């Protein structure tokens, strides 16, 4: 019999905080990242278009570069941050809050996208890092692409757990992520793309995995 590596495969939640106020911020509808970040993306694209001397080709190139950098960022965060397992009691608690609860309750529909209390500060940190990296002129289209990549990640992550994904690409992404949950959680870290799993040799193709709750 296969090892059961989750607590519940139903759409139900585990309580994380005794405080109902704090607990409120851990439950997020899938549409919230779109509501928060689509206006931000629109602002940066408008800023890019309004920047004197910034050609359409440059805007497009930086947008695509930002999108690509997100896929690598997603992989690194998932592999080295979300799946880092500390030994201290506090560290284990933080790990559970950050990602462990998702593996215990993989189909909890209100914990499949990143809460704005986490994604907002992270976005600000990345903004200032990329400001240093690419400069003020090219930052707006680059950061817009980066944020669109993040939104793809959140929406695809929700869909792999709760949407009937069809077609070659949809099924590939769904099965890739389901293998990470139900067969081998130290492989298949990419969610929006398996590219970096191939590059860093963490792609694993095993027997067919479940694709639903």
Predicted local confidence at residue 204, as pLDDT: 84
Region 201-213 average pLDDT:
64
Where are the domains positioned within the chain? 20-169
- Statement: residue 213 has pLDDT above 50: no
Q: Directed axis angle between helix 139-162 and helix 167-182, to 10°?
A: 70
Predicted local confidence at residue 97, as pLDDT: 87
Please indicate whether residue 205 or residue 110 has the higher confidence score (pLDDT): 110
- Statement: residue 179 has pLDDT above 80: yes
Predicted local confidence at residue 2, as pLDDT: 44
Q: Nearest CA to 15 among 5, 6, 23, 25? A: 23
Q: What is the pLDDT of residues 15-58, one digit of tens each?
A: 999 999 999 999 999 999 999 999 999 999 999 999 998 999 99
Predicted local confidence at residue 184, as pLDDT: 83
Q: Directed axis angle between helix 116-134 and helix 139-162, to 10°?
A: 150
Predicted local confidence at residue 103, as pLDDT: 93
Mean pLDDT over all residues of the chain? 91
Percent of the chain with pLDDT over 70: 94
Which residues, 6 or more positions from 3, have their beta carbon under 8 angstroms from its beta carbon?
none
Tokens of 67: 């999108």
Largest CA distance in the chain: 64
- Statement: residue 212 has pLDDT above 70: no
Q: Are 157 and 191 in contact (CB under 8 A)?
A: yes
Q: What is the pLDDT of residues 118-143, one digit of tens each?
A: 999 999 999 999 999 999 999 999 99
* Alpha helices, DSSP H, located in 54-115: 56-76, 89-95, 101-104
Looking at the chain, how many residues does it have?
A: 213
- Statement: residue 145 has pLDDT above 50: yes
Region 57-75 average pLDDT:
97
């Amino acid at each position: 019999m296969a090892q059961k590596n989750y607590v519940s495969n139903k759409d139900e939640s585990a309580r994380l905080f005794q405080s109902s106020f704090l607990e409120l911020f851990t439950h997020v509808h899938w549409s919230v990242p779109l509501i928060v970040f689509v206006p931000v993306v629109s602002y940066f694209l408008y800023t890019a278009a309004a920047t004197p001397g910034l050609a359409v080709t440059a805007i497009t190139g930086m947008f695509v570069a930002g999108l690509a950098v997100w896929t690598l960022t997603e992989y690194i965060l998932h592999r080295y941050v979300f799946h880092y397992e500390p030994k201290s009691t506090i560290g284990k608690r933080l790990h559970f809050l950050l990602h462990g609860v998702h593996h215990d309750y993989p189909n909890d529909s209100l914990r499949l996208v990143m809460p704005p209390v986490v994604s907002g500060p992270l976005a600000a940190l990345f903004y200032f890092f990329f400001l240093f990296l690419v400069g003020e002129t090219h930052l707006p289209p680059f950061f817009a692409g980066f944020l669109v990549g993040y939104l793809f990640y959140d929406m695809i992550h929700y869909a792999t757990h709760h949407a009937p994904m069809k077609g070659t690409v949809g099924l590939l992404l769904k099965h890739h992520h389901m293998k990470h949950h139900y067969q081998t959680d130290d492989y298949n870290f990419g969610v929006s793309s398996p590219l970096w799993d191939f590059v860093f040799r963490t792609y694993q193709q095993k027997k067919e995995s479940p694709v639903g709750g």
